[in-house]
Amino acid sequence: MSNHRRAPTSTFLPLLFLALTLPGCAGLDRPAEAPAGDWNTHRQQLISLDQWRAEGKVALRSAQGADSASLMWQQHGDNTDLLLSGPIGLGATRIHSDGKHLDINRGGELQRIDISSPDAIARATGWDLPLAALRHWLKGAPAPDLAIQSLDLDPKQGLLLHLRQADWDIHYQHYREFDGLRLPTRLHIKRGSTEARILIAQWQLPPDR
């Protein structure tokens, strides 16, 4: 790891979460079998989906420790609004990003990070976070600005099973259909000693998409 200073404990979960990682969450009922799908068609649907809301849980583990929280993620174009809360002494933590800045608000204390340069988060917190990629990975799509190191598909459903980008491994363990679109409900993300499990209980999509 680099010599960058480490993030304070109070921002440990939100900062690492934005980098991706977590361990065991409870499962969801298996959905009915979906008809055979085409990956290219599905991927184009995900690319065009730039407004959505997801609610669920996140569990995190790294060499620094382990944590878990409930999450509510809203995406509108390049604008991200994330609320983390849970029984871990975290309180409510609100995170906002417009693609250029990252604002972390916890207990009335605001931390702003300029993320316009690729290593900005690493310099400010000590963590190298693929912030821009996460919103794509959550939907079950590769991040468009990162090279695809490997990609495995379900041949019947045309959905991602495994994706590797920027040395992060993203495993898609479960999907459900929401408003006619198959979206992930259970993900496992890992790089090195950092891993995360994300359980999404509900996706809300715009009615006019």
Give the DSSP H or E segment for 10: none
Domain presence at residue 2: no
Residue 147 lies in a domain: yes
**Predicted local distance difference test score (pLDDT) of residue 150:** 97
| Number of separate domains in the chain | 1
Tell me, what's the pLDDT at 57?
94
Residue 101 lies in a domain: yes
Distances (CA, A) of 37 to 16, 31, 34, 97, 155: 34, 15, 8, 33, 8
Determine, yes or no, domain membership for 209: no
Domain membership flag for residue 3: no
Is 199 among the domain residues? yes
Domain that holds residue 52: 9-204
Using alpha carbons, select from 184, 152, 146, 150 the residue that is nearest to residue 164.
150
The confidence score (pLDDT) of residue 6 equals 43
Residue 4 lies in a domain: no
Q: Counting runs of H as helices and runs of E as strands, what totals does the chain give? A: 4, 11
Which residues neighbour 141 within 8 Å (Cβ) at sequence distance 6 or greater? Answer: 43, 46, 47, 160
Q: DSSP assignment, residue 80?
A: E
pTM to 2 decimal places = 0.78
Q: Look up the CATH number of the domain holding residue 163.
A: 2.50.20.10
Per-residue pLDDT, 18: 54
| Tens digit of each residue's pLDDT, the chain (209 residues) | 444 444 444 445 555 555 443 333 333 333 333 344 699 999 999 999 999 999 999 888 877 778 888 999 999 998 999 888 875 445 678 888 887 888 888 777 888 887 766 666 656 555 555 667 889 999 999 999 899 999 999 988 999 999 999 999 999 999 999 999 999 999 999 988 888 899 999 999 998 76
pLDDT of residue 27: 34
Burial class of residue 117, CB neighbours in 10 A (0-12, 13-18, 19+): exposed
Q: Is residue 145 in a domain? A: yes
